[in-house]
A and B are shown apart, each in its own frame.
Chain A
């Protein structure tokens, strides 16, 4: 592709701005990097270019001509092919069927030419992979790394002119990454442009000719490695921001080293998602889990709350080992989870606030056979009062509440019990500032009351404002611990990206 330019791309999802003003320009066949912190809009940008998402406002020019890309078919017409992060493969079709899916060769325009299809698949795979992937295996049975390779092979078999790779290296092993890089360089030789999206700065500096940096949905910087040295430190200021990150109000420092140890994890592992995590949580402490999205933070919270079962290691509650076979065990021991997806996992959307608040009581088996509705109503009203719910009507279905108030209900229903540990999975996702402040005020209050909190938040601001300590997770491990004095935006971003 001679040139590709995207100007002033804007996109909102509901109330959340994904792209504010993204600009991107590529001349000639180059390998062009795209980096940015969590939620900076990289994936949305890629999906817009591939016609999977329609932008609110966009101008895309290919070879100088303005074009409209409104569906994956449109994109393919222009030779733009995306290698998906959430794979586009069909698990029950075989490898070769998947590679040819959507652009099968047909004889006489009707019948599939399976021989040609298998040959094509074999050829693309041979070019790409170190280890042998059997063409007839079902894709669903492959390990994640091989799935990713099939996804890349599928994209290559479409003969792209512009290949967009959205974090292709995340599930790959080192040798596979190297092989992929060689292939990408080969593509460049063949005059094919590549957009390479990654969190890993060392990959960007190794592979790319030019790098664009996105921050909060805006293009904030460009580094041209033909003119500038290949140095991560040139990129970091753009990712972090000019003033070294935003200055958030930090939580007061507390000395908790003498406080009682409440929870201890010893070598906790979960299949390949989490490995050997050691963690100590003291009474009243608020620990933050930081790092890029999807590095095992959510799985860790689900392990502690008994939703997932650990495959290795021990969990000690107040010094005693505890086996979590069911979320009920965790709840009875005072460990409560606020799930990441409140509509799916947190609430019974069509049921009333009252119902939602009293349901957890059943797993505590404290109720008699017949429920004392008068007493329960009173308790519910107390909670509604405590969380300052708007509107404070207990018979209202939860689905009628705003996102923030829904989250307050998920959170508030645990306040009726003596909680030892609260596990918060990105509690402020998609809620307004007022609700967010209310929520964290409550978190602060209960942590001073002696409840410990483990908080995973995708925004650094929440971690800085509320945590005594932040643990950075990367590929299922805790790789860094940031103590209270050191917590700041720049530090968190740098640690997440694994640069010094």
Chain B
């Protein structure tokens, strides 16, 4: 009897510990918000779980998810990128301005897009890591620079994307994986690879405590640079998705991603001070933001109130997401 008793109490205390650990995790509340939103969404839109609506949802969500992953990596390193939207739209302009029907040309231009993204990231990263500018101001300035370049390349939305290429985005891979989800999976695969490298851990270290990282023999400025360069892979993927879903290059198409990605990252439980949270959280945050817009649309909120409603919901979900942090602070007096 006694043994049995012990076992049950052990099990229940283990369960309690598990619950406690879950609630301590910074992305726990965002998961709850996500589940709630899915329920609300599904009740408003009966076809929510159908193949076609999942596909169309991801067609609009994927760029934001990828951009939020990029922002997530940068924020984890203790920085912030306000040029992310301008960079994304600049990349669509670069690719659309030179595209022709030939497949080699398309492949080359996609590669050019990736290289340009890395160059932009390296520029941002070395300004912050090596010149030592504060990220808020320096990426605000580079955002204007990127936007300016995009405007010179393409003063008005335009360019050319071959029909077969943007049709491909609306199709499937292996007949059942929608292409947007496939691109997202590529992004996640890149992330999984990055996660296994030392750089990823050093990003956490630098974001958590720059001095601690330095005295552990980590080259802090190089890690800051690396975080921007790694993020640029995701920005490149996002710009490809954006290009394909709009089928034109547009210097303004990505501008809203800047602050939306910051919101997504915070909703996903990444601390803006750096070093806390996970890129997975950023994905969840971005999906939450996307679903929010869906809910407002399907709840038939008048377009006059859509902005208001979206803002309110973001404020509420942010407040919920900060509850574990508040609890921690109250313990510290």
Contacts and interface: CB of A to CB of B under 8 A. Distances in A.
Contact of B333 (A84, A103, A106, A308): A308
Interface in B31-67: none
Contact of B275 (A52, A88, A92, A102): A92
Interface string A85-126: 001111111000100011110100011100000000000000
Contacts of A72: 214-217
B215 A84 contact: yes
Contact of A102 (B196, B211, B217, B276): B217
Query: Which size bracket describes the interface of A in this complex?
Result: 20 to 34
Contact of A93 (B196, B198, B201): B201
| Residue among A84, A90, A101 facing the most chain B CB atoms (10 A cut-off) | A90
B204 interface: yes
A180 B215 CA distance: 22
A112 B216 contact: no
A92 B201 contact: no
Interface of B: 196-198, 201-202, 204-205, 208-209, 211-219, 275-276, 333
Given A72-B217, A88-B216, A104 B201 contact: yes
B208 A76 contact: no
A106 B204 contact: no
B197 A112 contact: yes
Contacts of A71: 217
B216 A101 contact: yes
A309 interface: yes
A52 to B, nearest CB: 6
Given A97-B201, A104-B198, A309-B333, A91 B209 contact: yes
Contacts of A52: 214-215
Nearest to A154: B216
A38 B202 CA distance: 35
A188 to B, nearest CB: 25
A73 interface: yes
A461 to B, nearest CB: 32
A92 B271 CA distance: 11
A90 B205 contact: yes
Given A52-B215, A82-B215, A101-B201, 19 more contacts: A72-B215, A72-B216, A72-B217, A76-B217, A90-B204, A90-B205, A90-B208, A90-B209, A91-B275, A93-B201, A93-B205, A93-B208, A97-B201, A101-B218, A102-B217, A106-B198, A111-B196, A112-B197, A308-B333
Closest 9 CB pairs of A and B: A102-B216, A90-B208, A102-B217, A88-B215, A88-B212, A111-B196, A72-B217, A101-B216, A90-B205
Contacts of B213: 90, 101-102
Say whether chain A's binding surface is mostly helix, strand, loop, or mixed. loop
Contact of A103 (B197, B204, B209, B217): B217
B217 A92 contact: no
Interface string A241-274: 0000000000000000000000000000001000
A102 B223 CA distance: 12
A93 B205 CA distance: 7
Given A72-B216, A104-B201, A88 B211 contact: yes
A262 to B, nearest CB: 27
Contacts of B217: 71-73, 76, 102-103
Which of B204, B217, B219 has the most chain A CB within a 10 Å cutoff? B217
Contacts of B215: 50, 52, 72, 82, 84, 88
A5 B211 CA distance: 27
Q: Which of B198, B211, B214, B216 has the most CB of A within 10 A?
A: B216
B5 to A, nearest CB: 25
Contacts of A106: 198
11 contacts: A50-B215, A73-B217, A88-B209, A90-B209, A90-B212, A91-B209, A92-B276, A93-B205, A111-B197, A154-B216, A309-B333
A305 to B, nearest CB: 15
B201 A112 contact: yes
Nearest to B214: A72
A82 B333 CA distance: 32
A101 B205 contact: yes
- Select the residue from B205, B213, B333 with max chain A CB neighbours within 10 A: B205
